[in-house]
Amino acid sequence: MEYLIFGLTGFIIAILVIHHVNKGRTKKKIEEIRTGWSNPKKESFDFDSISKYADTIKESKFHRLTNQTIEDIDFYGLFAFIDRTTSKVGQQFLYKKLLEPTSNTTDQSEGLISLFSTDKQLREEVQLELIKLNNNGAYNISSLLKDKLLEKPKWFNLLILDITIVAGLMALSFKFPVLVIALIVPVTLNMFLHYWNKNNTFQFLKSFPQLNNLINVSKVLVKKGDQFYDKSIEDGVLNLKSFQQKIALINFDNGTGIQSELSQLGTYLTELIKAIFLIEVFTLFRLTKELENKKASIQLLFDYVGGIDSSISVASLRAGNIKTCIPTFVSCSKEFHAKGIFHPLIEDCVKNDLLINGKSILITGSNMSGKSTFLRTLAINSLLAQTIYTCFADEFTSPILKQFSSIRIDDNLFDGKSYYFQEVNIMGSLLEQVESPHQNLFILDEVFIGTNTIERIASAKAILSYLNRKENIVVVSTHDIELADMLDNEYDLYHFTETVENNELHFDHRIKAGQLRTRNAIKILELSNYPVDVISEARQITTTLRTTKILSEG
């Protein structure tokens, strides 16, 4: 009786200790969740892994950012700031979402975003589920969406004959013991095949267990309430039930776990049986074939969980100290209005207003005055408006657009391409979009600066007129004031400027309507302590050129 009481007491103590440990872990997770709310992540970003889902899914889409635009707007830095997801699934989903602006004028997830913004308890319950998919291995779930997971060797069907022979010899050996000797050859072969198959198993070492987690998390989330319920998710979970049953037959243990001698013996015996009858080999190939036929269910669950997580991320972003607004969309027209728009990655960024009504925009101004930053600001907010329906502005009104840019061009000498040829290629790709049936936003920082003045201005005028066709919106910066008169009927003129006070340059970084009337390039050289002779000669040449009208007045 004393032993029974002793054992029962020990069992109860063990249960209490486990409960206390789990409670402590949950409390720590909640503290991490609360600390991260409304704040950017401090972790590093593995974009090779984050981009796997976006690179794997080849479905048709309204638009996908070009590599040039990704570089122009510092997309990776922007994503690192926007991303407040809890799981790796949500992170991959959000990355794809930001990369592919939509043509939808309403956000289907706005209801969830509002719910997570107001119901803290529910949000944290959901995040505690999502955190189960925060292991780096969850990045590999998307690899299961490939068309072909595992190629069967040509001799695979012979394994059925192999197993039949082994089973037959084993059965007959009870009556004819001498047949045990005959078992040596096929069993040895099967042992070899079993461990050969471990190489195949290894590539699914992370994806299969994480897919199992995704299914389990989906099961929990779909029961969280009406806004989470989706009959197709229940069907998707049911469709993958056989996967969860079969995965138990495959050993994904990497050998690092601590086991008792007794449990190790059980593991060895189980492994021996699996090897003799090639259980893992058959199960793995059947399982991969099954998943190839159930990709739709995997993607359905992935998008479901990812969509919920990205909704929490947007709610967290909007809850921060930085000003945001929900965009307003208008029908296809050359109309655009932004009030108090700013760049989210620049601390204390100056806000600007812009009104486009019937004409595109030509912006002039000196270097460092804010032109390039303003162009990036427009591109970023147009992108975010059509992805997470959240803009960094007081107001943002725009038609649905496809965003294209040419702001930062590299002179790739390694590929043998000059700056000018890089420009030619990029501009050519933009011109191809003009006659397409959708409305475009073209954002350009200078046109053909890699060539001589006369041909640059002539080519720029022709290109800007062509890009401005239909309802396309073009916002371009230039130092060539001559373009203002040439494009007067197609482009409204704006400028950035600076002032010189007490021999110091002051930039207000505010965009202003009209033409720039001042030139400070030589003054900047003077403030930079260039030799007096250089400054004097530069001013004399400028006067001569203007007198002979080689350069227009600015």
* Domain-located, residue 355: yes
* Domain-located, residue 419: yes
Structure tokens at 408: 């930062």
* Domain-located, residue 484: yes
Torsion sign, CA atoms 54, 58, 59, 65: positive
Which helix H or strand E contains 362, and what residues bound it? strand 360-364
Residue-level pLDDT, tens digit, the chain, 554 residues:
666 676 666 667 666 665 555 566 778 889 999 999 999 999 999 999 999 999 999 888 999 999 999 999 999 999 999 999 999 999 999 999 999 999 999 998 999 999 999 999 999 999 999 999 999 999 999 999 998 888 888 888 888 888 888 888 888 888 878 777 888 888 888 888 877 777 777 778 889 999 999 999 999 999 999 999 999 999 999 999 999 998 877 766 544 444 445 456 666 777 777 777 777 877 888 888 999 999 999 999 999 999 999 999 999 999 999 999 999 999 999 999 999 999 999 999 999 999 999 999 999 988 788 899 999 999 999 999 999 999 999 999 999 999 999 997 765 544 546 777 888 899 999 999 998 899 999 999 988 876 778 888 999 999 999 999 999 999 999 988 889 889 999 999 999 988 777 777 788 999 999 987 667 778 777 777 888 888 888 888 888 877 765 544 43
Report CA-CA distances (Å) from 133 to 87, 130, 209, 212: 5, 6, 10, 10
What is the C-alpha end-to-end distance of the chain, expressed in Å? 103
Distance CA 504, CA 494 (A): 24
CATH (domain of 422): 3.40.50.300
Report CA-CA distances (Å) from 93 to 9, 54, 114, 236, 303: 48, 8, 19, 18, 7
Residue recorded with tokens 């994480």: 210
Torsion sign, CA atoms 419, 422, 424, 427: negative
Residue 446 makes CB contacts below 8 A (sequence gap 6+) with 476, 477, 478, 479
- Bridge-partner residues for 444, per DSSP? 406, 476
Distance CA 205, CA 137 (A): 9
Q: What are phi and psi of 188, to 5 degrees?
A: -60, -45
Q: Following CA atoms 195, 196, 199, 202 in sequence, which dihedral angle do they give, to the nearest 10 degrees?
A: -30
Query: What is the SS3 assignment for 426?
Result: helix
* Domain-located, residue 191: no
* Domain-located, residue 523: no
CA-nearest of 233, 230, 215, 29 to 112 is: 230
* Domain-located, residue 443: yes
Q: Which residues of 66-90 are buried (b: 16+ CB within 10 A; e: fewer)?
A: bebbbbbbbbeebbbbbbbbbbbbb
Range of the domain at 24: 1-29
Distance CA 86, CA 132 (A): 9
Domains identified in the chain, total number: 2
| pTM, two decimal places | 0.87
* Domain-located, residue 452: yes
* Domain-located, residue 187: no
